[in-house]
Amino acid sequence: MNLLEMIKDAGVIGAGGAGFPTHVKLASKAEFLLMNAAECEPLLRVDQQLMELFADEILQGFEAAGRLVEAKEAIIGIKEKHKDVIRHLNERIQVLKLGDYIRVQALKDVYPAGDEQVLVYELTGRVVPEAGIPIQVGCVVVNSETALNIYQAIKGNPVTEKYITITGDVPEKLTVKVPVGTPIIDVLKLSGIEDFQGYSVIDGGPMMGPVMENLSGFVTKKTKGLVILKKQHDLIRRKSMTVDQSRRINRATCEQCRMCTDLCPRFLLGHDLQPHKMMRVVGYGIDPDKTQEMAMLCCQCNLCELFACPIGLYPRAANMFVKQQLLDKGIRYECKPGELQAREIRKFRLLPSKRLVARLGLYPYDKPAPMSEKTVVPDQVSIALVQHVGAPAKPIVTVGQRVEAGQMIGAIPEGSLGAAIHASIAGTVTEISSAAITIRRD
């Protein structure tokens, strides 16, 4: 089996949250392989610790991926504030004799340093085309946990566990490793809270993660962080706003100051994304047409809503509203020819993470969440068929069948984009639904 097949067989997907199947990404040829180790979402502490704890494995997985795409150089992008991790990585690069291939490049502590297109620009000076992907400028990007999973795939170990930071307004902030498919509620309880009435949970980082509607879900290969806050926290209130509510508020009060546009990371990269114009479309009740196609360029980083707008409006939601209307009409973004340049003003408009944390009201919770030996040993796991971009995995087990931990239980449907899934515990398959395969521990 070649390396790409090993990665495919192990069900490796982008562990940073995107969930794109890694074997598809690494099937391209690229000039640069980039590691996204920026972890720019406030409060999350997974990647920075993995790189300290598993530096050799991550570097070897990263190197293997780099050779696979025939990259001439592999660059790790990590925030400059993680000085100890950078020192450690540089030491291990020398020990492993990878210094002529892999280098570490420090990033400013700004949000969103980990946006794939921002990362590509910071590490290579290249601007990904509007509505484009990094390979169009010769780059492939993998997350550090993904690099660890590539290493594990080479060793024959599929993705069956996930590292998660549990943080927020909790007695104990920590980072844990749990089996994929573990009930979220059991993971949350590791924080020291037993009763979650009065709390809301953000699935992911505080900026881009949604507020969970209920806590009855299960860990997936993409689960990166669980941010627990009191229901009355302002961030929860703002993130819980429905599209209709935000549209009503947007209509009433936008003063067209254009701060949302001036600080938008994609606008600053040179893309023609101007959320203040989408506020106008919503405000005047304009029926969107192709002239508003810029709404499609939004990466939903939420900077405009949660930081830039001085009066707390919802420009991201306006973008999303317009985008949905355009998609409903079958309108797609048409990329303009020509190379883009980042805007001159960009370097003066980067958002320091500390200011963002203060604005979000998260300063009291911006603390370490150390890697813990604590874990969950679930009696039952529910492994989602879709944890990735693409088609649902096709079950290859039957109800009543006994499975071993690590056994493939769902395969990629023939000719589809997708990722395989594996049993995270040994046990018996008790249910197969259109959404998940449930396994009860023997």
Name the segment binding ligand SF4 (CB under 6 A); options: 27-35, 74-82, 91-99, 306-314: 306-314
* 356 belongs to the binding site for ligand SF4 (CB under 6 A): no
Nearer to ligand SF4 (CB atom), residue 265 or residue 270: 265
The answer for residues whose C-beta is within 8 angstroms of residue 266's C-beta and 6 or more apart is 117, 273, 297, 298, 299, 301
Collapse the DSSP code of 77 into the 3-class scheme (helix H, G, I; strand E, B; otherwise coil) and give the result: strand
CB of 188 to ligand SF4, least distance (A): 27
The answer to whether the CB of 178 falls within 8 A of the CB of 383 is no
SS3 string of 385-406? CCCCCCCCCEECCCCCCEECCC
Name the segment binding ligand SF4 (CB under 6 A); options: 36-44, 136-144, 147-155, 258-266: 258-266
Nearer to ligand SF4 (CB atom), residue 45 or residue 316: 316
Nearer to ligand SF4 (CB atom), residue 257 or residue 358: 257
Cα(first)–Cα(last) distance of the chain, in Å? 32
Q: Work out the angle at residue 175's Cα, subtended by the Cα atoms of residues 173 and 179, and round it to the nearest 5 degrees.
A: 130
* 256 belongs to the binding site for ligand SF4 (CB under 6 A): yes
Dist CA 183 CA 219 (whole Å): 6
Among 59, 180, 228, 260, binds ligand SF4 (CB under 6 A): 260
Nearer to ligand SF4 (CB atom), residue 302 or residue 387: 302
DSSP state string for 83-148: HHHHHHHHHHHHHTT-TTTEEEEEE-SEETTTSHHHHHHHHHS--PPTT--GGGGTEEEEEHHHHH
CB of 281 to ligand SF4, least distance (A): 12
* 301 belongs to the binding site for ligand SF4 (CB under 6 A): yes
Name the segment binding ligand SF4 (CB under 6 A); options: 146-154, 184-192, 209-217, 253-261: 253-261
Collapse the DSSP code of 199 into the 3-class scheme (helix H, G, I; strand E, B; otherwise coil) and give the result: strand
* 322 belongs to the binding site for ligand SF4 (CB under 6 A): no
CB of 171 to ligand SF4, least distance (A): 33
* 309 belongs to the binding site for ligand SF4 (CB under 6 A): yes
DSSP 371: B
CB of 410 to ligand SF4, least distance (A): 33
> How far, in Å, are 195, 367, 436 from residue 207 at the CA level?
25, 17, 28
Residues that bind ligand SF4 in the complex, under the rule CB under 6 A: 254-260, 264-266, 273, 275-276, 279, 298-304, 308-309, 311, 313, 315-316, 319
